[in-house]
């Protein structure tokens, strides 16, 4: 089979069993007592050729189109097997970028005003019902924060603790003006207003998210203090005591990094504080794989810490605190993956089988990127003035405890 060299090189521990279109069985790897064998079926004779040409795009497209089936509807088992055998901690070459063209993928990083809105709509203007099916009650579509006390890894609790953790780092004071860049469905903005008595402006490029966020503010009776606007951060004017941005920096694009941080600095008051919560690479700068760029996050890019800080320091923003969340997003996406599987019938009814398979493959890839590959979450705290925050980090834990007591 055309794919023999690829599978034999990568799959060493754990078993991969493929039944080709003629009914012949191909086995790769070795039994692992901690892993059940992964079984795939190729439904037509062209699958090996289409996958071999460009595995990163060819495999998921064949899977999405029903040309590859995985036993038990568990595409995660296959993706995890591959990434486990090329685990970031132990592998220099993960072997998963075969056929990718980094120079070509960089062409999609330029996000001007028109392109940014179109890219956001591609992902975030999907049906609200889809996100209701797999997110927590507050619709937090970003990494949750799991603590040892959350023994059952309850997603709703972990998302609440994420919001409290971020709010604590902002060192909020009653009456302050807060900007939420990329506000999603409004959960963070509404939370900050409720627990810290602050006024919040949330901005987004998603028309669907804007409708939900405004409705939620009206229903909570705080529409006069928590407002939402459809506007690009580059077009915003004014001054804010605090700026928070959760899961938005991944959509900025490398060519706009300095522009982004220059705008954050310009919008902050002299004694202001900003907290950027973003997915990041634990290794050096990379590129967005072709599947993600085409189907999931066009224009998106996961930054390395080195290129992020290099951009912010040139804009004279002081990095006052860095936290790396190594495991939290893996735990978060496991919930999303499981819930998506449980809601298969509803998702297929909303869209179709192809969309369901695409979404499951996306979540499987994202989950294993955090458990086996080089992804983590960074929380980057910035100030304009070194005197803007207390001398030590003790205030964070103290504020977090007080915030969680409020529920």
Which residues is 226 bridged to in the sheet?
A: 200
Q: What is the pLDDT of residues 303-344, one digit of tens each?
A: 999 999 999 999 999 999 999 999 999 999 999 999 999 999
In a domain, 98, yes or no: no
Q: Tokens 């690009």 sit at which residue?
A: 232
- State the sign of the Cα–Cα–Cα–Cα dihedral 294, 278, 92, 88: negative
103 half-sphere exposure, CB direction, 13 A CA radius: 0
Q: Tokens 């007592």 sit at which residue?
A: 33
Same domain, 179 and 65: no
Instruction: Please state, in angstroms and rounded to a whole number, the distance separating the CA atoms of residues 113 and 110.
Output: 10
Q: What is the pLDDT of residues 24-47, one digit of tens each?
A: 999 999 999 999 999 999 999 999
In a domain, 197, yes or no: yes
**Domain termination residue (choose one: 35, 67, 85):** 85
In a domain, 325, yes or no: yes
CA angle 371, 372, 374 (to 5 degrees): 95
Same domain, 136 and 81: no
Proportion of the chain above pLDDT 70, given as a percent: 92
Residue 103 neighbours by CB under 8 Å, 6+ apart: none
Runs of H (alpha helix) within 125-186: 128-134, 155-170
Same domain, 78 and 131: no
Same domain, 40 and 174: no
Q: What is the pLDDT of residues 338-383, one digit of tens each?
A: 999 999 999 999 999 999 999 999 999 999 999 999 999 999 999 9
Runs of H (alpha helix) within 11-154: 47-53, 55-64, 75-84, 102-105, 113-124, 128-134
Residue 404 neighbours by CB under 8 Å, 6+ apart: 160, 161, 164
Number of structural domains in the chain: 2
Say whether 142 sits in a helix, a strand or coil.
Answer: coil
Same domain, 282 and 186: yes
Phi, psi of 343 (to 5 degrees): -105, 25
Which residues is 63 bridged to in the sheet?
A: none
Q: Where are the beta strands (DSSP E) in 182-305?
A: 199-204, 226-230, 240-246, 268-281
**Domain termination residue (choose one: 33, 68, 85):** 85
Query: Which pLDDT band holds residue 105 (cuts at 50, 70, 90)?
Result: low
Quick check: 90 pLDDT over 90?
no
Residue 187 has a pLDDT of 98
406: exposed, middle or buried (C-beta count within 10 Å: 0-12, 13-18, 19+)? exposed
Q: Is 71 left (phi over 0), alpha (psi -120 to 50) or beta?
A: beta
In a domain, 106, yes or no: no
Interval 275-291 mean pLDDT:
94
In a domain, 92, yes or no: no
In a domain, 331, yes or no: yes
Which residues is 382 bridged to in the sheet?
A: 274, 319
Q: Are 210 and 236 in contact (CB under 8 A)?
A: no
Same domain, 79 and 117: no
Same domain, 154 and 59: no
Q: What is the pLDDT of residues 155-198, one digit of tens each?
A: 999 999 999 999 999 999 999 999 999 999 999 999 999 999 99
Same domain, 48 and 197: no
Instruction: Please state, in angstroms and rounded to a whole number, the distance separating the CA atoms of residues 40 and 387.
Output: 59
Residue 197 has a pLDDT of 98
- State the sign of the Cα–Cα–Cα–Cα dihedral 196, 200, 203, 206: positive
Q: Tokens 């224009």 sit at which residue?
A: 299
What's the DSSP call for residue 35? B
Residue 407 has a pLDDT of 85
Residues in the chain: 407
Same domain, 254 and 355: yes
79: exposed, middle or buried (C-beta count within 10 Å: 0-12, 13-18, 19+)? buried
Q: Tokens 């038990």 sit at which residue?
A: 72
Q: Which residues of 303-342 are buried (b: 16+ CB within 10 A; e: fewer)?
A: bbbebbbebbeebebeebeeeebeebbbbbbbbbbeebbe
Residue 276 belongs to a domain with what CATH number?
3.40.50.150
Closest CA to 364 of 333, 332, 327: 333
Quick check: 119 pLDDT over 70?
no
Q: What is the mean pLDDT of the chain?
A: 92
CB atoms within 10 A of CB 252: 26
Same domain, 177 and 287: yes
Same domain, 81 and 117: no
CA angle 61, 97, 292 (to 5 degrees): 45
Quick check: 112 pLDDT over 70?
no
Same domain, 170 and 268: yes
Residue 117 has a pLDDT of 62
In a domain, 99, yes or no: no
Q: Which domain holds residue 288?
A: 113-405
Quick check: 212 pLDDT over 80?
yes
């Amino acid at each position: 089979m055309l794919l023999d060299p690829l599978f034999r090189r990568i799959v060493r521990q754990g078993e991969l069993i493929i039944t080709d279109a003629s009914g012949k069985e191909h086995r790769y790897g070795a039994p692992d007592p901690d892993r059940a064998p992964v079984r795939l079926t190729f439904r037509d004779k062209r699958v090996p050729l289409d996958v071999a040409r460009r595995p990163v795009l060819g495999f998921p497209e064949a899977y999405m189109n029903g040309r590859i089936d995985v036993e038990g509807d568990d595409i995660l088992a296959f993706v995890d097997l591959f990434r486990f055998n090329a685990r970031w901690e132990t592998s220099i070459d993960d072997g998963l970028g075969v056929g990718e063209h980094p120079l070509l993928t960089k062409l999609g990083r330029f996000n001007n005003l028109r392109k940014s809105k179109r890219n956001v709509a591609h992902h975030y203007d999907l049906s609200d019902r889809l996100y209701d099916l797999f997110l927590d009650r507050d619709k937090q579509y970003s990494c949750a924060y799991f603590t040892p006390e959350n023994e059952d890894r309850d997603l709703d609790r972990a998302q609440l603790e994420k919001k409290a953790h971020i709010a604590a780092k902002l060192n909020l004071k009653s009456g302050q003006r807060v900007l939420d860049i990329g506000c999603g469905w409004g959960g963070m903005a509404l939370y900050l207003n409720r627990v810290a008595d602050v006024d919040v402006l949330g901005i987004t490029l998603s028309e669907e998210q804007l409708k939900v966020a405004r409705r939620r503010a009206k229903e909570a009776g705080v529409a006069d203090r928590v407002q939402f606007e459809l506007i690009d951060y580059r077009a915003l004017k004014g001054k804010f005591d605090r700026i928070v941005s959760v899961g938005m920096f991944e959509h900025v694009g490398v060519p706009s990094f300095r522009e982004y941080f220059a705008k954050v600095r310009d919008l902050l008051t002299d004694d202001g504080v900003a907290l950027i919560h973003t997915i990041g690479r634990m290794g050096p700068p990379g590129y967005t794989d072709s599947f993600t760029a085409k189907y999931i996050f066009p224009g998106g890019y996961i930054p390395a810490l080195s290129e992020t800080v290099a951009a912010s320091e040139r804009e004279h923003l002081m990095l006052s605190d860095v936290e790396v969340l190594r495991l939290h997003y893996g735990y978060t996406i496991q919930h999303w993956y499981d819930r998506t599987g449980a809601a298969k019938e509803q998702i297929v009814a909303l869209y179709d089988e192809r969309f369901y398979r695409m979404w499951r493959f996306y979540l499987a890839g994202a989950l294993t990127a955090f458990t086996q590959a080089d992804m983590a979450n960074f929380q980057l705290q910035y100030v304009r003035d070194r005197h803007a925050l207390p001398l030590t980090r003790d205030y964070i834990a103290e504020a977090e405890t007080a915030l969680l007591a409020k529920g």
